[in-house]
Amino acid sequence: MKCLAPWVTIRQDEDGSVMPCSSYFTRLKDVKIGSTHRNIQEFFNGSDYNDFRMRMCNDEDIKGCIECKVDAENGNPSHRDYWNTKYANITEPAIRELELCLSNKCNFQCIACNSHFSNKWYKDDKALNELGVDKTGQLSPRRHLTSPDDMVGVNLDSLVLLRILGGEPLIEPRFLNVFEVLKERNIIQNVELFINTNNYIFPNKEWQEYLRLFKKITIVLSIDSIGKLGEWNRHGFDMKKFTINEGRWINFPTNVAYNSVVHNFSVLGLNDLIHWVDLPIHFGMEGKDHALDLTLGPSYLCIQNLPEHTKELIADKLDQRLYKVKEFMFAEEHNPKYVKQYKKFYEYFEKKWGMPKENKLIYESVCEKY
């Protein structure tokens, strides 16, 4: 099904590669902003992105769009629905929304992340890869990745929304250069800013001065579980600090939303989590209330790939409101190849960080048959 994303948006990743959106599963082309292309505008206007638009128009089955396809099959709102609804009447391509990851600089090492998005993952990604855990597309070529913040030659006149991501965006000061460009061009007041953050630090005065210039701010706080399980799942997360900063955001002129990734190591903390956040849950795009992201990758952390009897054990424990999680979990047969990789992954981190009881329960269940 045609998706309007390539007509309205582009994402520049932490290593300068480009994608149409954050749901897109693979890299678009062998593109590096700053080397193969001067800037994102050159790619947005160029033949490769035009070919991609043509593939959309021809209704091709595009491999990188699998997440939207699965969402549609499961009756969940997809990223594609967002673009097709919000921009139903556009005719000409223009950058209306921009997603920027300027580096993989991060103060956390979250269990479902990888070295492309956190420099803290580099050593473990390499070690796990050597142990036979499939790190294809996850292991970064270097510990530190950066992409250009230069907006010279990028037409931002139609921009209505800027998403800043990381790494952890609030510790990447080069975002201030982008804000300065928006201010100089007198468009910052037309733009809504989305910040996806781990909420460990609150912006300093310099950041706050820019933030107040935007039309609107939506802050998406990433939290996968609470308490000790949360601290294990997102290494660096501090429940107390999270709560303090959450209160500061609520008192700042912002729309505060929450995003949680559901995977083998967070699923048994979901009941406590949704109770603690205490907002309506949904499975669509983050930015409103509490979004639950039913992740497909990495495959060895995807709950669909767990053995059927382990899925039963999880399903019995989940709150009624999480029926979509159960549906998603049973939508595919388990995959022995990924179960074996999950075990290696688990054992590696059990040795390194110890293991919370919720995760032990899943592992012991898996071991009954593997």
Q: State which residue, 72 or 256, has the beta carbon closest to ligand SF4.
A: 72
CA distance 194 to 368: 44
Q: State which residue, 82 or 265, has the beta carbon closest to ligand SF4.
A: 82
Polymer length of the chain: 370
Distance set, CA 309 to CA 102, 239, 268 (Å): 42, 32, 15
Amino acid residing at 238? D
Residue 148 C-beta: closest distance to ligand SF4, Å = 23
From residue 57 to residue 86, the character string flagging contacts with ligand SF4 as x (rule: CB under 6 A) and all else as - is: --------x-xx----------xx--x---
| Binding window for ligand SF4 (CB under 6 A); candidates: 15-23, 238-246, 274-282, 354-362 | 15-23
Helix or strand run (H / E) with residue 261 = strand 255-262
Q: State which residue, 3 or 154, has the beta carbon closest to ligand SF4.
A: 3
* β partners of residue 291: 259, 282
Q: State which residue, 6 or 269, has the beta carbon closest to ligand SF4.
A: 6
* Residue located via tokens 């990447």: 172
Long-range contacts for 313-319 (Cβ within 8 Å, ≥24 apart)? 313/361, 313/362, 313/365, 314/267, 314/268, 314/362, 317/268, 317/271, 318/267, 318/270, 318/271, 319/270, 319/271, 319/274
Residue 37 C-beta: closest distance to ligand SF4, Å = 19
- Please, which of residues 279-298 interact with ligand SF4 by CB under 6 A? none
Residue 168 C-beta: closest distance to ligand SF4, Å = 23
How many residues belong to the site for ligand SF4 (CB under 6 A)? Answer: 12
Residue 106 C-beta: closest distance to ligand SF4, Å = 24
Of 98, 109, 277, nearest to 200 by C-alpha is: 109
Q: Which is it for strands 18-19 and 9-12: parallel, antiparallel or unpaired?
A: antiparallel
From residue 79 to residue 118, the character string flagging contacts with ligand SF4 as x (rule: CB under 6 A) and all else as - is: xx--x-----------------------------------
3 binds ligand SF4 (CB under 6 A): yes
Q: State which residue, 70 or 361, has the beta carbon closest to ligand SF4.
A: 70
Question: 3-state class of 217 per DSSP?
Answer: strand
- Please, which of residues 117-156 interact with ligand SF4 by CB under 6 A? none
Residue 80 C-beta: closest distance to ligand SF4, Å = 4
List Cβ neighbours of 120 (8 Å cut-off, separation of 6 or more).
106, 107, 108, 109, 235, 236
21 binds ligand SF4 (CB under 6 A): yes
Residue 58 C-beta: closest distance to ligand SF4, Å = 14
Listed in sequence order, the DSSP H helices in the chain are 5-8, 40-45, 47-57, 66-73, 79-86, 122-131, 175-184, 205-211, 227-233, 239-250, 270-277, 308-317, 323-330, 336-353, 357-367
20 binds ligand SF4 (CB under 6 A): yes
Q: State which residue, 21 or 170, has the beta carbon closest to ligand SF4.
A: 21
Is 44 in contact with 93 (CB distance < 8 Å)? yes
Q: State which residue, 302 or 362, has the beta carbon closest to ligand SF4.
A: 302
| Binding window for ligand SF4 (CB under 6 A); candidates: 20-28, 30-38, 149-157, 225-233 | 20-28
5 binds ligand SF4 (CB under 6 A): yes
Residue 67 C-beta: closest distance to ligand SF4, Å = 6
Q: State which residue, 79 or 116, has the beta carbon closest to ligand SF4.
A: 79
Is 23 in contact with 78 (CB distance < 8 Å)? yes
List Cβ neighbours of 81 (8 Å cut-off, separation of 6 or more).
284
CA distance 34 to 15: 10
Taking CB under 6 A as the criterion, the residue among 7, 24, 179, 200 binding ligand SF4 is 24
Residues that bind ligand SF4 (CB under 6 A): 3, 5, 20-21, 23-24, 65, 67-68, 79-80, 83
